[in-house]
Structure 1
Amino acid sequence: MPIRYLKKHAALEGRIAAEDAEGLQQWLRAQAKPAVALDKCEQVHAAVLQVLLALRPALQGRPTDPWLAAALGLR
């Protein structure tokens, strides 16, 4: 399962496909303080990246892909 929805955050793991973008968007909008854990994330589809950039949840950890980390403003 590429996204695990937990009590305090959504954990993105491995490669996250375009099909996951809508579910992530809905979950983030439903949270009072949305957060996403990226430490096990290898790659995301552009649609998922757009959701993260548009909704700006709190980000935990760093993805393994340096380009993705830079795109999310994680230096």
Structure 2
Amino acid sequence: MTVRIEPDGIHLVGRCSAEDADALLVALQEQPGCTVDLGAAQRLHLAVAQVLLAARPPVRGVPANDFLARYLLNLLQ
């Protein structure tokens, strides 16, 4: 599973598909203010990015993907 809920936050791992947007949204609704770790994310479907942009959770970690690191991370911080 690419959306992992851990005690220290929500981790996005590997290639997150459109189906992962639902899991991420539910996790963010159940744990408001929870930090999302993007450090292990390789790719994010636009639906996942939209959830992040709408919810604006605290984020940490820098994705290995240059596009995500350069553009999405800047929008989220």
TM-score by length of 2: 0.86
Q: Which stretches in structure 1 are left out of the alignment for 5+ residues?
A: none
Equivalent pairs: percent with the same residue? Answer: 40
Aligned residue number for residue 22 of structure 1: 22
Query: RMSD of the alignment, in Å?
Result: 1.6
Native 8 Å contact 2:12 2:38 kept in 1: yes
Structure 1 or 2: more helix by fraction: 2
Structure 2 residue identity aligned to 1:68:
L
Native 8 Å contact 2:25 2:51 kept in 1: yes
Aligned residue number for residue 68 of structure 1: 68
The Cα of 1:31 is off from its aligned counterpart by 1.1
Aligned residue number for residue 52 of structure 2: 52
- The answer to whether residue 25 in structure 2 is matched with residue 31 in structure 1 is no
TM-score by length of 1: 0.89
Q: Which stretches in structure 2 are left out of the alignment for 5+ residues?
A: none
Runs (4+) off by over 3 Å: none
The Cα of 1:30 is off from its aligned counterpart by 1.4
Report how many aligned residue pairs link the two structures.
75
